[in-house]
Chains A and B, each alone.
Chain A
Amino acid sequence: MQITTVVNGKSFTKDVEPRTLLVHYVRDVLGLTGTNVGCDTSSCGACTILLNGESVKSCTVLAVQADGMELTTIEGMASDSALHPIQKAFHENHGLQCGYCTPGMIMATASFLKENPMPTEAEVREGLEGNLCRCTGYHNIVKSVLAAAEAMEGAVK
């Protein structure tokens, strides 16, 4: 089946099998391998991307369901050579250890901060409940999200 999506601002029309998962469409069809597959059971959040601006677990969405929609993956966050403020905050606050969960954490953060631009620490922890870090580096991840919120305040609505 033919689907058209706008991914990181660029339009793509591709043939996919109905059973193709969105994460495989992004990784294997479009070659955007920044999005990771973790648990493959919608638990861990490593595959989180934005669908029409909202976080989803792309292992539990069919590519055909995204037909006509806008996708943002981790590759769409930085502009030219400048890191996105969320990426910068993760970098500066050591918000990653092995880095496997990081693309998902950053995309979940992007969606969360749109809904709650000035969160408390407790709200950050709840807002990221769908993302697991197997290094258990949560403290610095939370610190990064709070720093990103501060950096983005007023800049992104």
Chain B
Amino acid sequence: MFPASFDYAKARSVADAVSILSSVEDAKLLAGGHSLLPLMKLRLASPSMLVDIGSLAELSYIEDKGDYVAIGSMTRHHDISWSRVLKSEIPLLPYVASQVGDPQVRHRGTIGGSISHGDGASDLPAAVLALDAKFVIVGPKGERIVPATEFFVGFLETVLSPDELLTEIRVPKFSGGWSFQKFNRRAQDWAIVGVAAVNDGGTRVSLVNMGPTPMRARAVEEALADGASIEAASLKASEGMDPPADLNASSQYRRHLAEVLVKRALTEAV
């Protein structure tokens, strides 16, 4: 399977990438390509041009910034899952990264690519949502910072404009319990449903594949804040959700799975 023809440009810097994106209609960024290329091979996406940011080494880093860790958007899942800083300061994130796809995918896929793709069925977007991360976005008008809670807006849709580039993910450190539950039928599959939970004074819970975007389980969080038991709170896992139905699971089954997995996650994290 070949993708449809496209023009190709290798970006020399972040500014170069933004300038190409601003001047070419329907150009798209290419990071590791492990979300975009499969879509292009299936002809579900046919950008006119790919702007390859794969050689921008300045976007691949993991830096301790005191109360948060800054992660360059081109940092690969492999590097995140092996990072000592992240393992000690934000252990949820390297664990989730180690659960994405398989080793080959983790050698290519990047955290920025996964977040920008904004797939509600992907693990890392839900993880950064539960971690209350912030994203640094660079465009022709300069830089802006958007919280994860405002970033994902619809099915494969984020607040990124076509001429903007996600450059850095800022993840607050936490010192409490955490859990990531991923339920799938085969080792390398997407989660049928997944749950990320962080307990750092308050409890934050997010869900994978329970809607068009990664979702915060607000009803669960509020119930816990009001003193509900884990058992009672997890029964609210799918409140306000409209989970998809597909070959793997019906919408109803996903609701059931969300309750079970939220309970497991909270039992581990709280």
Structural contact, A62 and B188, CB atoms closer than 8 A? no
Report Cα–Cα, A143/B184, bound state, in Å. Answer: 26
Structural contact, B33 and A56, CB atoms closer than 8 A? no
Structural contact, B34 and A55, CB atoms closer than 8 A? no
Structural contact, A19 and B104, CB atoms closer than 8 A? no
Structural contact, A56 and B8, CB atoms closer than 8 A? no
Residues of A within 8 A of B6 (CB): 18-19
Report Cα–Cα, A126/B3, bound state, in Å. Answer: 31
Structural contact, B2 and A19, CB atoms closer than 8 A? yes
Residues of A within 8 A of B108 (CB): 56-57, 60-61
Answer whether A40 and B103 are a contact pair too, CB < 8 Å, given A60-B37, A62-B33, A65-B52: no
Residues of B within 8 A of A17 (CB): 5
Answer whether A127 and B103 are a contact pair too, CB < 8 Å, given A19-B3, A42-B38: yes
Residues of B within 8 A of A40 (CB): 1, 41
Per-position binary interface string of chain A over residues 108-127, scored 1 when its CB falls under 8 Å from any chain B CB and 0 otherwise: 10011001000000000011
Picked from A21, A42, A68, the residue with its CB within 8 Å of the CB of B105 is A42
Report Cα–Cα, A17/B7, bound state, in Å. Answer: 9
Residues of A within 8 A of B52 (CB): 64-65
Structural contact, B4 and A55, CB atoms closer than 8 A? no
Is B143 in contact with chain A by the CB < 8 A criterion?
no
Report Cα–Cα, A57/B33, bound state, in Å. Answer: 11
Residues of A within 8 A of B172 (CB): none
Residues of A within 8 A of B55 (CB): 68
Residues of B within 8 A of A115 (CB): 103
Structural contact, B188 and A18, CB atoms closer than 8 A? no
Picked from B5, B54, B105, the residue with its CB within 8 Å of the CB of A65 is B54
What is the number of contacts between chain A and chain B, taking CB atoms within 8 Å? 80
Is A144 in contact with chain B by the CB < 8 A criterion?
no
Report Cα–Cα, A137/B2, bound state, in Å. Answer: 31
Structural contact, A57 and B105, CB atoms closer than 8 A? yes
Structural contact, B50 and A55, CB atoms closer than 8 A? no
- Scoring A65, A108, A115 by chain B CB atoms within 10 A of each residue's CB, the highest score goes to A65
The tally of residues in B whose CB lies under 8 Å from a CB in A reads 29
Report Cα–Cα, A65/B54, bound state, in Å. Answer: 7
| Interface residues in B119-175 (C-beta closer than 8 Å to A) | none
Structural contact, B107 and A55, CB atoms closer than 8 A? yes
Per-position binary interface string of chain B over residues 175-189, scored 1 when its CB falls under 8 Å from any chain A CB and 0 otherwise: 000000000000110
Ordered by A's residue number, 17 sampled pairs between the chains whose C-beta atoms are within 8 Å are A19-B4, A19-B5, A20-B2, A40-B41, A42-B104, A48-B104, A54-B78, A60-B38, A60-B108, A62-B30, A64-B8, A64-B10, A67-B10, A108-B103, A129-B103, A129-B188, A131-B102
Give 13 A-B pairs besides A129-B103, A130-B104 with Cβ atoms closer than 8 angstroms: A18-B5, A19-B5, A40-B1, A56-B104, A57-B104, A60-B37, A61-B33, A62-B8, A64-B8, A64-B10, A65-B52, A112-B103, A130-B105
